């Protein structure tokens, strides 16, 4: 609906993220007399949803108008791992964090080294962790006038939509 579109565009413009990344986290229920906006919490918007560029030293990301460089980060496709909760095939910006562990799932699970001094030992990998920016709820509640301005834009858009619908019905009645 027009309410959701206005809210998504406003939030994505404020934070500098893609509308699709923001739209997944906003739900609008419009009734006869009111509009209720529900914001999904949880993790923030994945950094792939922002303007980013892979460099030789990591990833440069622009979040809320500020450029930041994340050393050793890389852009990759997600893996199916419930703990990290990203879907296989989705692009993510991630870091390898922590000590090396024996993978329990994925393409390296059960692999052993075939030659060299560690022959027969399990292959060790560092776990990857997706990197996130601010949540939609943070953006919505952080700036005091932001909510009021957005709700005002939604009211204006609703009024405009109602006027368009009335004009459409009137034209149909005149034709008949």
The pLDDT value recorded for residue 119 is 93
Coil, helix or strand for 86?
A: strand
Phi, psi dihedrals of residue 63, rounded to the nearest 5°: -120, 125
Look at the pTM and tell me if it is higher than 0.85: no
Q: How is 103-114 classified by DSSP, letter by letter?
A: -SSSTTTT-B--
Q: Helices marked H in the chain — which ranges? A: 2-15, 19-23, 136-142, 144-175
The kind and range of the H/E element at 39 are strand 35-39
CA 167 to each of CA 11, 54, 162: distance values in angstroms, whole numbers, following the listed order: 31, 50, 9
Distance CA 148, CA 25 (A): 19
159-168 long-range Cβ contacts below 8 angstroms, 24+ apart: 161/2
Distance CA 87, CA 146 (A): 32
pLDDT by residue for the chain (176 residues), tens only, comes to 788 888 889 888 888 888 888 888 888 887 777 778 888 777 888 888 889 999 999 999 998 889 999 999 998 876 555 444 444 557 888 898 888 999 888 788 889 999 999 999 998 988 888 888 888 888 888 877 888 888 888 888 888 888 888 999 999 999 87
């Amino acid at each position: 609906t027009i309410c959701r579109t206005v809210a998504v565009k406003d939030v994505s413009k404020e934070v500098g993220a893609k509308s699709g990344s923001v739209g997944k986290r906003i739900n609008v229920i419009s009734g006869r007399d009111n509009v209720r906006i529900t914001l999904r919490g949880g993790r923030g918007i994945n950094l792939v949803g922002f303007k980013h560029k892979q460099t030789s030293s990591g990833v440069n990301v622009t979040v809320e108008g500020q450029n930041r460089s994340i050393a050793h980060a890389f852009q990759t496709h997600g893996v199916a791992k419930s703990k990290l909760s990203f879907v296989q095939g989705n692009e993510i910006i991630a870091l390898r964090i922590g000590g090396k562990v024996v993978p329990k799932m994925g393409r390296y699970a059960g692999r052993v080294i075939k030659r060299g001094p560690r022959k027969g030992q399990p292959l060790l990998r560092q776990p990857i962790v997706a990197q996130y920016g601010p949540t939609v709820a943070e953006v919505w509640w952080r700036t005091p006038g932001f909510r009021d301005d957005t709700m005002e834009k939604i009211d204006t858009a609703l009024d405009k939509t109602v006027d368009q619908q009335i004009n459409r019905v009137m034209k149909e009645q005149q034709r008949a």
